[in-house]
Amino acid sequence: MVVGEDNRPSSPVLRGGLAAGLRSSGCDVILLNTVPTPVAYFAEHEYAADGAVQITGSHNPAEYNGIKMTMGGASLHGGAIQALLRRIREGHMASGDGALDEREVLPAYVADVAGRFRLARPVKAVVDCGNGTGSVVAVELLEAVGAEVIPIYCESDGTFPNHHPDPTVDENVQDMIAAVRAHRADLGIGFDGDADRIGVVDDRGAIIRGDVLLLLFGLDLLKRRGPGETLVFDVKCSQVLPEEFTRAGGVPVMWKTGHSLIKEKMRETGALIAGELSGHICFADEYFGFDDALYAACRLLEMVAASPEPLSRATAALPAYVSTPELRIEVPEAEKFDLVERAVAHFSARHEVVAVDGVRVLFGDGWGLVRASNTQPVIVARYEAQTAERL
């Protein structure tokens, strides 16, 4: 098993305890230093390991921490995690004496990813790591690809002294926007706390939402490989995505929110690309199929370099629908799923709906979504229409 950690103050002691526990169960442990979550996933492939475990609090506040797990290249989620919990509670543990092997994987990761790209022209990029774990490799990697990098908050500090490490929240990218405009950069790229989610602003400093970014990657995939390719996206994404991807000859598949669920659907459908509004983007086209914001950044740089027009032109060419942000309505945990089931029954009788995850009600010129959060006692809602008045 590969074991990695992010740069939070609590991560080293948790990593040490996890490694000791794995070894006591008979697992051989490949111990990594501080690395982004996708680098731990990469190490699973690089070292032909059976799985990878990353100590990370992702984009949560500094005092939080947690664990992300993969087995055989697939994320553990849902029933698999519940089965694991039952084994823990029942004490069904293996025992043994596993080996410990400490390895430095970052050079191999940089060489592998950078070797996949060649920029057609120089590209200037502002990079904001939010002092998260991406700080240990992002600048080196993007410079190895050939970009001119203007770093901000790329000093590794797991207390996140400058802003919360979540580039999908507008207030967290204001310094990046200012830097893009001040340096006349081609784009700005932000990473969350463990660098498996990406946030982007264009050459004018305008924010590119995760669903629009996913669409741009999908359209580029169709240019590379031709029509008929499948793209998996989550229920919170704009209707612009399936409409434009279909118009370009692609096959969009709407699925449940959650990066583990999206990756599972990606494998099931054979899709070469998948992602979420939240900035998780997964490539199985010339890559491993996991969510790697660092790889996505390199791929975006290659796209920008290959185009004679600025990134802002690419987004301006898309229909401009009007949408709300993600609205989170607090409800008791015991009631949230019942509320959603009642919403499904109510709207299904009156409108066309998509019910893969809560209910997405289609109104022809817009839609509304009501779903239960996977992780919190909240109902998630989002709305979109073709005009502000209709919204």
Q: Is the Cβ–Cβ distance between 80 and 31 less than 8 Å? A: no
Q: Taking CA 226 as the corner, what is the angle to CA 273 and CA 291, rounded to the nearest 5 degrees?
A: 10
CA atoms 180, 61, 83, 17: torsion sign: positive
Side-chain half-sphere CA neighbours of 230 within 13 A: 15
Q: Is the Cβ–Cβ distance between 253 and 233 less than 8 Å? A: yes
Q: Which two tokens stand for residue 262?
A: 């999206």
Helix (H) or strand (E) holding 282: strand 281-283
CA 216 – CA 210 distance, rounded (Å): 10
Q: What is the DSSP string of 184-233?
A: T-SEEEEE-TTSSSEEEE-TTS-EE-HHHHHHHHHHHHHHHH-TT-EEEE
Is 25 assigned a catalytic role?
no
CA 275 – CA 291 distance, rounded (Å): 8
Which residue is it, tokens 């998996």?
A: 232
The size of the chain, in residues, is 391
Quickly list H helices, the chain: 11-24, 37-46, 79-90, 106-114, 138-145, 174-183, 210-225, 240-247, 259-269, 293-306, 311-316, 333-348
Burial class (CB in 10 A: 0-12, 13-18, 19+), 229: buried
Q: Is the Cβ–Cβ distance between 286 and 279 less than 8 Å? A: no
Which residue is it, tokens 């490490």?
A: 165
CA 98 – CA 218 distance, rounded (Å): 43
Query: Which is the catalytic residue, given 58, 238, 260, 323?
Result: 58
Burial class (CB in 10 A: 0-12, 13-18, 19+), 63: exposed
- List active site positions: 58
